[in-house]
Amino acid sequence: MAQWLYRVLRPRTAYIGLSVPGGGPERYTMYFAVTPVDVNHSVGWMWNSMNYNHDMSDTDFGDYIDEIVLQDIPIVESQRPERLPLDLQAELHLRADKTAVAYRRWLRELGLTFGTS
């Protein structure tokens, strides 16, 4: 069993934390930030840490993180439309889209004209 905490601290900045329910000491965290390079390209910055598996080498830990991220890249790059419309009338939204709709509203309130998923 694991408990995941996802937080979007601001647009293009997220925190993910993994902990054991009941307050166990094991913890994994990831801080992720994105820097736009141009309208269609960005650079992702990721910091990862964990306070368990101390026998895992830094190289093995990096390989593990790379394996996860390399699985996500094609999924993110295949999203359509590439530019996330902030006009909520442009798409049909279901109850399951509640978080995405709130994020789009937040981006629009900040004055952005498009977002990325």
Res 117 pLDDT > 70: no
Same domain for 110 and 74, yes or no, is no
Chain position carrying tokens 């598996």: 53
Q: Looking at the 3D structure of the chain, how many domains does it have?
A: 2
Same domain for 89 and 106, yes or no, is yes
Enumerate residues 6+ apart whose C-beta is below 8 A from 113.
Answer: 86
Q: What is the pLDDT of residues 22-41, one digit of tens each?
A: 777 888 999 999 988 887 78
Distance CA 59, CA 68 (A): 14
Task: Give the rounded percent of residues in the chain with a pLDDT score beyond 70.
Answer: 97
Q: Is the peptide bond before 81 cis (omega within 30 degrees of 0)?
A: yes
- pLDDT value, residue 104: 86
Same domain for 50 and 64, yes or no, is yes
Average pLDDT of the residues of the chain = 85
Same domain for 111 and 68, yes or no, is no
Helices assigned H by DSSP within the chain: 58-77, 98-109
Q: What is the CATH classification number for the domain harbouring 60?
A: 3.30.310
Same domain for 69 and 90, yes or no, is no
- pLDDT value, residue 116: 60
Average pLDDT value for residue range 70-74: 90
- pLDDT value, residue 48: 93
Residue 58: pLDDT band with limits 50, 70, 90:
very high
Average pLDDT value for residue range 93-116: 82
Same domain for 23 and 74, yes or no, is yes
Residue 12 and residue 31 in contact, taking contact as beta carbons nearer than 8 Å? no
Structural domain of 13: 3-78
Same domain for 44 and 92, yes or no, is no
